[in-house]
Amino acid sequence: MNVLDVKKLNVTYDQKGIHLFKQTPVNYAVSNVSFSIEKGKTYGLVGESGSGKSTVAHSLIGLCPIASGEIVFNGQKLNRTRQDCVEINKDIQIIFQDAYGSLNPKKKVIDIISEPIVNYETKTFDQLVERVSELLEKVGMRDDVLYRYPHEFSGGERQRIAIARALALNPKLIIADEPTSSLDTSTQARILNYMKMIQQEMNISYLFISHDLSVVSYMADHIGVLYDGQLIEEQSAHQLFKSPKHDYTKTLIKSIPSID
Ligand SMILES: Nc1ncnc2c1ncn2[C@@H]1O[C@H](COP(=O)(O)OP(=O)(O)OP(=O)(O)O)[C@@H](O)[C@H]1O
Ligand SMILES: [Mg+2]
């Protein structure tokens, strides 16, 4: 069973292509991209800067308009209307590279993590404290951080807070767009391990995006290689290393210093 099917997705930032009288060629940021994510599994999207990784991510949550193609979430075709977004965005959450930019600096941890909850559910203050403490525990943090502000934490801790918030509504799919790229190696490994534990515990699917194939291969069951807006190769993580088809993939594999 797939949680997500993306079919022939085309995204363009170039609006000139739709001018009535002047037929200029359209530049696709993402062109003809199709892939599926199985329930409880991780699909890794790897590619260099500008290859269209974030564009794919953003189109899934309605942050950028799609030119054509289909997005099917849990068997339901998304139209990305406003109502759609309200209903579906409970089930699809996104984590960005820069947790500092995505956490409101003026809010305390308890308010940051409980915000999605109060948007959808009615809970007493005590219930919220309990729920937020549970979520923090999943990322290895204690409830003594509840009343602290984002600037009081390290980059890794902030990213863990962002993960806790993403988990608040029990999503079915989490899109992680370069979630650990700005962190040092050991912090990165720690966060990836939390993400793995959370996936097992909550049966969440991940779309895990990174320019780093070693990181993607650590996380993903299936890997898609994006190059210049096109998915040039897709295989199980295991198979990709065994028999890469595309030259670009071979180069990516060769550039990894050591796979473990
Ligand atoms: N808002 C925008 N307006 C116009 N063009 C854009 C916009 N966002 C992205 N692009 C272009 O779309 C293409 C894909 O960009 P995208 O950000 O999806 O790549 P990426 O793989 O996420 O790169 P990075 O690894 O640097 O995050 C690039 O050519 C980029 O210049
Ligand atoms: Mg990006």
12-27 pLDDT per residue, tens: 886 554 445 555 666 7
Mutate to test the pocket of ligand 1, among 54, 178, 182, 215 (most ligand atoms within 8 A of CB): 54
Q: What is the pLDDT of residue 85?
A: 63
Question: pLDDT (tens digit, 9 = 90+) per residue, 46-55?
Answer: 999 999 999 9
Query: Is the Cα torsion angle 54, 59, 65, 67 positive or negative in sign?
Result: positive
- State the distance between the two ends of the chain, measured CA to CA, in whole angstroms: 30
C-alpha 247, offset from chain centre: 26
Please tell me the distance between residue 175's alpha carbon and the centre of ligand 1 in angstroms. Answer: 17
Confidence band of 90 (pLDDT split at 50, 70, 90): confident
CA 95 to CA 201: how far, in whole Å?
19
Q: What is the pLDDT of residue 176?
A: 97
CA 233 to CA 230: how far, in whole Å?
9
Question: pLDDT (tens digit, 9 = 90+) per residue, 140-176?
Answer: 999 999 999 999 999 999 999 999 999 999 999 999 9
Q: Is the CB of 211 under 6 A from ligand 1?
A: yes
Q: Is the pLDDT higher at 26 or at 205?
A: 205
Q: From the CA of 58, which ligand is nearest?
A: 1
Chain mean pLDDT for the chain:
91
Q: Is the CB of 58 under 6 A from ligand 1?
A: no
Domain boundaries, the chain: 98-168
Question: pLDDT (tens digit, 9 = 90+) per residue, 98-111?
Answer: 877 889 999 999 99
Residues with C-beta atoms within 5 A of ion ligand 2: 53-54
Query: Is the Cα torsion angle 133, 137, 141, 144 positive or negative in sign?
Result: positive
Q: What is the pLDDT of residue 84?
A: 63
Q: What is the pLDDT of residue 22?
A: 54
Confidence band of 259 (pLDDT split at 50, 70, 90): very low
Dihedral angle computed from the Cα positions of residues 208, 210, 215 and 220, in that order, rounded to the nearest 10 degrees: 30
Mutate to test the pocket of ligand 1, among 14, 45, 49 (most ligand atoms within 8 A of CB): 49
Question: pLDDT (tens digit, 9 = 90+) per residue, 167-201?
Answer: 999 999 999 999 999 899 999 999 999 999 999 99
